Structure 1
């Protein structure tokens, strides 16, 4: 997949398309210094179009978290479309030469970052829409067309 061919419209379409969680009982697993939970999703209208929703939380600092949505292709190419980060650091937008102050912020993949050879989701903007991993998950689901599960998805206990 040549990601440089994707337009901002293509990226927004991937973010917005209605999606269904395939493995709603995905478990938290320990990974380094954080817990991680990965949900597999597919386009609600075309099950061949795959996505992954990931949740990460530091085991030592609850404000260090991230909820993200990635497009996954059969070729194993992965593109992070959006990421909702906690308030644990400021962020610098390299191309725009701007700084997002310390606080919760949302990363979005853009054509200009892909073409410039930076991380696709290198652009970020501040947000006040959440202040926890649960809130970030809810915002991501709402903003990115993910059907809300009919259970509470964010138990913080590690399940093995």
Structure 2
């Protein structure tokens, strides 16, 4: 369920292909968005893609992960914090995408894996761009990898953008 959608999903075949970019508060996510902008939305060039920047907001109950006395008292504060966090992501994405003429920005409640795959379907996207956190095999197995999941389940091309490691 979208909390903030700038426009309804475009109908397929309106001339432009659609690219969905997954965004969260990580540097990896912003790097992936900037990479996509640099390579697919160069300033002064005709834009071949519509852009949909999508961020997932966990339900407060999932984020708290506890039950019992006092849990209900905490939920409104957690919900407000999660909403502020997702709006910060969208605000930064809007700044980065200032030169894109055809863009929508969405905050969708749910797990990022499902939210991004559903956004691909909703927008009839030809491409999904996600950042890679660069987790090792153990962390990926424990935490789950959004990029791995999307690569296997999204019904479009999935581009996983890795932020280069800086050499000191």
Give the strand-richer structure, 1 or 2.
1
Q: Is TM (by shorter chain) over 0.5?
A: no
Indicate the structure (1 or 2) with the bigger Cα radius of gyration: 2
State TM-score, norm by structure 1.
Answer: 0.29
State TM-score, norm by structure 2.
Answer: 0.28
Give the helix-richer structure, 1 or 2.
2
